[in-house]
Amino acid sequence: MKVAVYRQAHFNAAHRLYNKNWDEEKNERVFGLCNNPNFHGHNYQLIVKVVGEVDPQTGYVIDLKRLKNIIEKEVLIRFDHKNLNLDTEEFKDRIPTAENIAIVIHGLIRQHLGKQYDLQIKLYETDRNMVEYPV
């Protein structure tokens, strides 16, 4: 009896999109307003999906309190109220697009889950834009 469980969390961060191998003109053309050198920011809404068997003793796929703690430790403390470009190791050399943030968060949470679980990350950058990894 495989079931998927979802848990939400939120963090607020500043970022800037630019590729340091490109000149300013090309960064402007590709990233537009998102290339503002003084940064802009978002309320990121994170949805973590874990798929696994329902434990007949508890009726749970996973204890959501444990999942909540993993998200807090690996994602919220690391990224909440931070500048993704300046304050984090993960985006020193990686452009902090929603796509890349989702891939990074997947790696950070994946290491805490046993092999019996599948993991997927959904990340809303705004109410209108969302990404999902893996597909």
Stretch 57-96 residues interacting with its own copies (CB under 8 A) = 57-61, 63-65, 80-83, 86-87, 94-96
Map residue 71 onto helix, strand or coil. Answer: helix
Residues with a known catalytic role: 34, 81, 125
Under rule CB under 8 A, residue 112 binds its own copies: no
Q: Which tokens sit at 82?
A: 């931070």
Report the C-alpha gap between 10 and 61 in whole angstroms.
22
Stretch 1-20 residues interacting with its own copies (CB under 8 A) = 1-10, 12-15, 17, 19
**Of 117, 109, 119, residue with least CA distance to 49:** 119
End-to-end CA, the chain: 22
Q: Which of 28, 90, 103, 112 binds its own copies (CB under 8 A)?
A: 103
CB of 52 to its own copies, least distance (A): 9
CA torsion 127→96→40→123, rounded to 10°? 20
Under rule CB under 8 A, residue 107 binds its own copies: no
Residue pair 51/118 in contact by the 8 Å Cβ criterion: yes
Residues that bind its own copies (CB under 8 A): 1-10, 12-15, 17, 19, 30-34, 36, 38-43, 51, 54, 57-61, 63-65, 80-83, 86-87, 94-100, 102-103, 118, 126-135
